[in-house]
Structure 1
């Protein structure tokens, strides 16, 4: 019996974790990912995804070829416990995204809401993008998060959003083309760092 049928059987028996609707932020991520995830067997990598419920939402939406990579073994184990028996249908990698070896053209979608924006040096970012380029299929996409400063209880400065987009575009060029940008977190009390999602695709190699 293949993994797809096994996973479906487990869901019929009963969910291994509480079922809930994805947050607005995760719904936005999934809409971006749908550009390349043309079937439920698309290979999806969630970078730094151990603390997110994105993998839960993708499983519930029927995706069956998922890999979660995180530098924290403890975070991965916590997510496995949360998912219960469903966790066996997911690939788990404890590794630094800058150091690990990726198989060439292994993934249709690379998703990262937090890791890239924490890289502080040009060398780190160049290495990161080289890893994305190696791991993605030629027609794949990467969905990468970037923060946009703003003040609580007000919208982000349009100039700041434009500048952030220009900065990200200059980082991706010339290896990638920018094909989408969206704001996924609004400013509000206790939340002064909204996130933009940038969808990029490799240029012809």
Structure 2
């Protein structure tokens, strides 16, 4: 059965319950998006050239191992948010020896207010769930609130040949050009892609963009 707009949780409480159920009812390596090594994400973070003391946030992190690998590489200011406490607790247990370098917070990216900014904003597979323009506007507001001039954003969604649904929810597929156009005022620096193999052997096409927020001098021009 095809997922429709009627299947979507419509408010923050419903979104929290939905994703808590997803993470509470499955094994870590049995969800379609699972990666033991998030190679594409790590490569795009590398392309930013930020130093290891730069603040990096992974939004909608779930069980992602991105924070683990960033800590292994020497990053000392890593944050992750997700709607599921269950997912973040799994990450917390995995990271216990290095937890002081990682901040894990249960939060909704559409209303995020951590009262700080980051040099790198990372999102793999959150933005494509935002099928309504007002949700995308809230997302962009959170992004702008948590990044300063010269910051980087790594945004990865399903590509044009990717799935139209995920976890029983409708998803938006993007070309690189269409995805970059969702972030006016940000410079498109690079593009990348990935044919992700799910744990059960199917392939999902992902499209990723590396964006940069203009610095103050550029913005005044």
Are 2:132 and 1:121 equivalent residues in the alignment? yes
Aligned equivalent of 1:81: 93
Q: Structure 1: how far apart are the matches of 2:128 and 2:42?
A: 19
Residues 139-150 of structure 1 aligned to structure 2 (within 5 Å): 139-150=150-161
RMSD: 2.4
Does the 8 Å CA contact 2:71/2:101 hold for their aligned counterparts?
no
1:196 to 207, 212, 215: 207
Are 2:68 and 1:56 equivalent residues in the alignment? yes
Residue by residue, what CA displacement relative to the aligned partner does 1:95-132 show, whole Å, maximum 9, x if unpaired? 0011121435x100000101111111111111111211
Are 2:183 and 1:172 equivalent residues in the alignment? yes
Residue by residue, what CA displacement relative to the aligned partner does 1:157-186 show, whole Å, maximum 9, x if unpaired? xxxxxx61222122112x212111111225
Per-residue deviation, 1:149: 4.7
Residue by residue, what CA displacement relative to the aligned partner does 1:41-96 show, whole Å, maximum 9, x if unpaired? 01000111131111111111111110011111111111111222322321111100
Per-residue deviation, 1:28: 2.3
User: 3-state DSSP class of the match of 2:104?
Assistant: strand
Q: Structure 2: how far apart are the matches of 1:169 and 1:67?
A: 24
User: 3-state DSSP class of the match of 2:175?
Assistant: helix
Does the 8 Å CA contact 1:37/1:109 hold for their aligned counterparts?
no
Distance 1:28 1:113, change over 3 A: same
Per-residue deviation, 1:193: 2.0
Deviates more, 1:38-47 or 1:78-87: 78-87
Aligned equivalent of 1:131: 142
Distance 1:164 1:52, change over 3 A: same
User: 3-state DSSP class of the match of 1:29?
Assistant: helix
Distance 1:192 1:130, change over 3 A: same
Q: Give structure 2 stretches of 5+ with no counterpart.
A: 1-35, 164-173
Q: Structure 2: how far apart are the matches of 1:192 and 1:99?
A: 32
Aligned length in residues: 171
TM-score by length of 2: 0.69
Aligned equivalent of 2:27: none
Distance 1:90 1:192, change over 3 A: same
